Copies of this chain bind each other. A is one copy, B any other.
Amino acid sequence: MMSKGQLIVISGPSGAGKGTVCKAILEKNNFWVSVSATTRSPRKDEIDGINYYFITKEEFLQKIEKDDFLEYAEVYGNFYGTPKSEVLKVLDSGRDVILEIDIQGALKVKTAYPNGLFIFILPPSMEELKNRITNRGSETPESLITRFTSAHKEISFVSKYDYAVVNDTVSIACLKIKSIIIAERCRVDRMNGDFLKEEIINE
């Protein structure tokens, strides 16, 4: 076993369904999920402290000043950020942490934590991506076009990730993500010899 938890970053373009996939994974597995802070308005049914910490722009800027974010980004005019100290505390305790964040944020985390596990969620097709963004119903026609164009561009960032999972069927996407997490724990280059020391050399 590794002494520290694994940082698992689940990311992908808007409309790929990373939120749905993460929710399904968390229902059956005991991961700790980081709640992001944002300056955008809550969507219908979103709860402060559960979906996001909804804070003002002033509060957000103060947190940036205090180096309180693992990463932060401005997306479509709103700020999003991952609180740093709580993520690091959970990882140090040995528990795995899942971050569900946008691509800009994920790439920043990758620069700071290259040993994280970076999983890119892909929509089954561009047509399906368009349908999903449209059906969400929370976008204006302008923001819809912005999101779709951006998603198209964002897909090219898949090459910066360790793994890519097509979210065609949610249950299969979840199985793949779970497999990736299990497999990563078996990777020899992640073990740093700890594995042998603890599990084999204890004669």
Q: Which of A162, A179, A203 has the most CB of B within 10 A?
A: A179
Residues B175 and A182 in contact, CB atoms below 8 Å apart: yes
Residue-by-residue, is A186-200 near B (CB-CB < 8 Å gives 1, otherwise 0)?
111101000110011
CB distance from A134 to the nearest CB of B (A): 15
Known interface pairs A125-B203, A199-B124; A183-B188 also in contact (CB < 8 Å): no
Contact: A183 with B176, CB < 8 Å? yes
Residue on B nearest A164 in the bound complex, by CB: B188
The answer for the CA separation of A180 and B163 in the assembled complex, in Å, is 12
Given known contacts A122-B199, A126-B200, what 20 new A-B pairs fall within 8 Å (CB)? Answer: A122-B200, A125-B203, A126-B201, A126-B203, A127-B203, A155-B196, A158-B188, A159-B188, A163-B187, A164-B186, A164-B188, A164-B191, A165-B186, A166-B199, A166-B200, A176-B182, A176-B186, A179-B186, A182-B183, A183-B184
